[in-house]
Amino acid sequence: MGLHSTNGTFAIKDSAGNLKSFTIYVQDGRALPTPKTVTSVDISPGQRFDVLTTLPTTSGTWYPQVTYKRLRDNSPYATVYGKITF
């Protein structure tokens, strides 16, 4: 995942709106010394992250999302959602 010209926050939520954890293994093309498990990550323009998450054994739907923020004051102005059905 990566953003071009605006700051943002990446998160994954389930269908009830609960944040789901994921693990960051690589940042900007370099492996982290120790992977970090988080529920969201702030992304600046040009940054890239490689993340993995573990899906539950039951069926459901999760929604990866990026909330874009204004560069001037970091306030949110738009959210883009994806959909993972398992």
- Residue 4's pLDDT band (cuts 50, 70, 90): low
Question: Are 16 and 56 within 8 A, CB to CB?
Answer: no
Q: Which whole number is the average pLDDT over 77-86?
A: 94
What average pLDDT does the chain have? 92
Report whether pLDDT(6) > 90. Answer: no
Report whether pLDDT(68) > 60. Answer: yes
Q: What does pTM read for this prediction?
A: 0.86
Q: Which whole number is the average pLDDT over 79-86?
A: 95
Give the per-residue pLDDT at 1.
Answer: 53
69, 72, 73, 77 alpha-carbon torsion, rounded to 10°? -30
